[in-house]
Chains A and B, each alone.
Chain A
């Protein structure tokens, strides 16, 4: 396995941080970075299972909507007097079930994941709007709100990322994930429980959405049907930037982590320095295309590899 993308990202990140240090020294301070990083975690948490799903050759467009429905479930339970000790795990379980629903359509009925999750993207958010009548649900106790401020979101992401990295590189299950994305039929013929693996991954994606929903509700002090909108594209961008192949079979956690950090730092720096949010759209889009294009310039060694195929 080559680490080419990881090095590309590291270099880009180093250039960015060096440039930032020259232009805006204060941007690179620990204090600023700690504060700014609080906004990364929910996306990061969602991006991890998205990476796994993309490695299998699938996609999950419904993550933003799953977050919304999970958050609303929490809000409605809380509003009806359910203790948060029950409501929080409950909302996460609901999110996992929503993910499993996607997984069931994809794995058992064998509908293309793009179609399934396009439909559930509309449906889940719609249900969230319907059951909450689009109201915001606020008023959580301080203890819950503190959750988002402290290091817990970072710990959740760290745990998820490290676990996933180990699963991906050291376990049979991880190898199955890569195998399915490389050639699904061969996997089936090799005795890989393809349907079960997919079902689990989409459920894990739902579960992670549940965690992200809790982080968001705690940070915003509100559960509302419009949270997490557009997050699917951000997560996919981070995963692809991190070197995963959208056709499946390729992708790594170190790449994803670097991709996430690079997107985050770029965004924050661009609006810090130029104070124009619009620029960010152009910069992130270009960053994605340039990184991918950089690798299309074949090296000498690569040419040799191509020839052998």
Chain B
């Protein structure tokens, strides 16, 4: 019986059929390659197997058992694991967390993570691939290859019977590729099946036992690799024959691009070379050797420590495009194209068709239509959004965008990455034609065959330096590799990333300085009474701040907390006050917490279900809740709270007020959630990379709902302990508190972009902001200083934000 049997799989997206009745059988212990042009349905097939996409019809049998569709957990339980492309990593999380998320060893169902065991498992798993780096550092400080290794080792750890690899070598060096291949062979020997998706046919032939070709969502053929050929596969994929033109010897003219002594600390060093008109120079090297960085520096996109770039003798200074330089970057989605924009707009953006700032619409139309024809771009019209095109056509649009600038120098960074075979040949042909027209071309590529096929000269980079130059006649794959690979005894380039100083440090120092100054002025600043009063003052901000930290970690924000606190306090007062409903205290507390829970849940549902951005949801809720509070209070304040209730706000245990105990409790809860629970890890992952979180099967909707509910409950608790400190509850209670809380979290170093931040930082931030006004009173700066208080507070927030930001930037290098 086959390990996996796929029968009649159909998947439609609206009117588009992505998979149209695919049948496939995978045996245990085989490497099964899947080939096809972009849009052939490979990714959809992978995703169905991995459980992140649900098919419309068809079924999959694993060892004869039907697979439960649409659940990553079910697929993993059936032994199917997938290595996603590098964009699916959680960069702000550590390697351990990336490796272990969704399968964390824990007690009590995710309520207490066993972090030591998580680390042990990760180290053991990485060791199988010969990796020995410290896995507790954030992945953003790791190389692309190391990130990939984390993903692969994660996939095969545990009871894996089918491993799906989607373009696994795209960012690996050949040494790492070798390590990966030997790992795959080891898995194969252990009886694991591997589904291997790649555009690199060399790898398919080196590795696979059988190969299946898909075209337009349909199965075309499955063949034994040993009994087929390169040409045959290409023909099956494209549906016709493809010919790669032979390189033509081009005539060398005068120098156009001149790069001299380019240096950027930690990236590349002393790079000098020239490219002549009509010449194609290939820049080879391993991923991470600094090739793309050099390209960006030439374009003036990154700052340089030294060196200069000249085009036809003219020095480039922030005017690269105007002087005739063009860069086709490697990442189409994030560097190359505006996916929601039309082809026409995309191809007009760099060239700027304009008369004195006014857009020249006729020029743009003529431009895009001529390129659609000359580059044979397949699209409905030039007004179709770029996102509707296949990868190869997108790449052609990207090249067209830069050709429109009439470049003298064209730099192409991985021009055929993720492009199918047919388009690849066309792109090669195009590059040669451009050179023939006199354009100086620099091609960066990790594919040795491409380097050799295109380059008149080949430059090889290693560790940020130019390691050597080969002419077309000298160039062989072996020679290039020898230059590209790290030599024994050579100094390794300093790691470009450092771990920044702990975020809390700056805020902590500022806080300390303030405490020292105030105490020096007035000893009674540290008196028992004042310390207690200050703690009581910051307690509500800490209670809400801890949960707001979770919300911001999840890349959301809640600006309705102040208004929610107001409504919670009003509810409590109206329920318990003998002048109003006079209900028992316990009922009032329950209602107060219930309102908090409900408010948080409404926010959470609107964000997670209706997908409305949280700032809009909570902005709307902010005003709605305020209005409800005003109407409920009916123009009167709550004047009498029962004594039992007042105890919450005024009572103390062991000399410490209840509200301070509660703040301490929330800090512990916050630490516990962020450090020790599965939920906390999911919050961090969601904030770090939302789309990756969905791919990993993290229940993103539930996590989002969770953080808002927790924030709502925290607002209710803060209202409970803070409003009962006072005898009178006014309708304006909690007004503007959201700004205090958000400022506390941010000053404490939590990133507004989600995924990184700590509870400790929030506590320091809340304390710092909370006691500024007390400190100013103690400093006795006189009457007029009162008027400057708000300015001083604003200044402190600014200093904290900037200090943290600049400190991190300096230490973090160009990160």
A109 to B803 Cα, complex, angstroms: 11
Residue A173 is within 8 A (CB to CB) of chain B in the complex: yes
Among A11-19, A79-87, A201-209, A274-282, the one that faces the other chain is: A274-282
A246 on the B face (CB < 8 A)? yes
Answer yes or no: A309 CB below 8 A from chain B CBs: yes
CB B4 to nearest CB in A, in angstroms, measures 27
Nearest CB on B from A268, distance (A): 16
B340 is contacted by which of A109, A124, A249, A280 (Cβ under 8 Å)? A249
* B336 is an interface residue with CB less than 8 A from chain A: yes
A23 interfacial contact with B, CB 8 Å: no
Stretch at the interface among B47-55, B662-670, B792-800: B792-800
Give the residues in chain A near B387, CB-CB below 8 Å: 308-309
A117–chain B nearest beta-carbon distance, Å? 10
- Consensus secondary structure, chain A interface: helix
Residue contact A282 to B623, C-beta cutoff 8 Å: yes
Interface pair A129/B752, CB less than 8 Å apart: no
Taking a contact as CB atoms under 8 Å apart, the answer to whether A115 and B746 are in contact is: yes
Say yes or no: is A155 at the interface (Cβ < 8 Å to chain B).
no
Chain B residues with Cβ below 8 Å from A186 are 334-338
Chain A, residues 32-69, CB within 8 Å of chain B (1/0): the string is 00000000000000000000000000000000000000
Also in contact, A118 and B606, with CB within 8 A (given A109-B805, A175-B345, A281-B630): no
Question: What 0/1 readout, one digit per residue, does chain B (600-616) give for beta carbons within 8 Å of chain A?
Answer: 00000010001111011
- On chain B, the residues within 8 Å of A249 by CB distance are 340
Chain A residues in 8 Å Cβ range of B791: 122-123, 125-127, 129-130
In the complex, the answer to whether B805 meets A303 with C-beta atoms within 8 Å is no
Taking the complex as formed, is B248 at the interface, i.e. its CB lies under 8 A from any CB of chain A?
Answer: no
Chain A, 281-295, contact with B by CB distance < 8 Å: what is the 0/1 string? 111111011001100
B752 contact from A114, A124, A125, A189, Cβ within 8 A = A114
Chain B nearest CB from A67 CB (Å) reads 15
Q: Which residue of B lies closest to A123 (CB)?
A: B794
Q: Is B127 an interface residue (CB 8 A)?
A: no
In the complex, are the beta carbons of B630 and A111 less than 8 A apart? Answer: no
Is A162 an interface residue, CB under 8 A from the partner?
Answer: no
Are the C-beta atoms of B620 and A289 separated by less than 8 Å?
A: yes
Provide the residues of chain B in CB contact with A132, threshold 8 Å: 787
Interface size class of A (residues with CB under 8 A): 35 or more
- Contact digits for A178-217, partner B, Cβ 8 Å, 1 yes 0 no: 0100110110111110000000000000000000000000
Docked-complex contact A288 and B334, CB < 8 angstroms:
no
- The dominant DSSP class at the B interface is helix
Contact (Cβ within 8 A) A284 B797: no
Which chain A residues (70-128) contact chain B, with CB distance < 8 Å? 105, 109, 111-112, 114-116, 118-127
Which residue of the partner chain, among B610, B616, B739, contacts A240 with CB atoms under 8 Å?
Answer: B616
- The answer for the CA separation of A170 and B790 in the assembled complex, in Å, is 43
- B350 interfacial contact with A, CB 8 Å: yes
Judge whether B16 and A307 touch: CB under 8 Å: yes
Interchain nearest-CB distance for B532 vs A (Å): 27
A114 CA to B611 CA, complexed, in Å: 21
A285 adjacent to B802 (CB under 8 Å): no
- Given the contacts A170-B359, A289-B612, A308-B13, A185 and B334 also touching, CB distance less than 8 Å: yes
Enumerate A222-266 residues with CB–CB distance to B below 8 Å: 233, 236-237, 240, 245-247, 249
User: Which residue on A lies nearest to B12, using beta carbons?
Assistant: A307
Residues of B within 8 A of A170 (CB): 358-359
A303 to chain B, nearest CB (A): 5
B614-626 vs A, Cβ < 8 Å mask (1 yes, 0 no): 0111011111111
Q: A residues within 8 A CB of B627?
A: 278-283, 285
Q: Are B626 and A281 in contact, CB atoms less than 8 angstroms apart?
A: yes
The answer to whether the Cβ of A171 comes within 8 Å of any Cβ in the partner chain is yes
Separation of A183 and B627 alpha carbons in the complex (Å): 38
B350–A191 touching, CB < 8 Å: yes
Q: Does any Cβ of A come within 8 Å of B15's Cβ?
A: yes
Interface residues of B (CB under 8 A from A): 12-16, 299, 301, 320-321, 327, 329, 334-341, 345, 349-350, 352, 354, 357-359, 387-388, 401, 606, 610-613, 615-617, 619-628, 630-631, 739, 742-743, 746, 752-753, 784, 787-795, 797-798, 801-802, 805-806
CB pairs A–B below 8 angstroms (16 shown): A118-B746, A118-B797, A120-B798, A123-B797, A123-B798, A126-B794, A129-B788, A133-B787, A134-B787, A171-B359, A172-B354, A185-B334, A192-B349, A285-B625, A292-B612, A296-B612
Known: A115-B752, A129-B791, A278-B630. 6 other contacts (CB 8 A): A129-B788, A182-B338, A279-B631, A286-B624, A288-B623, A309-B387
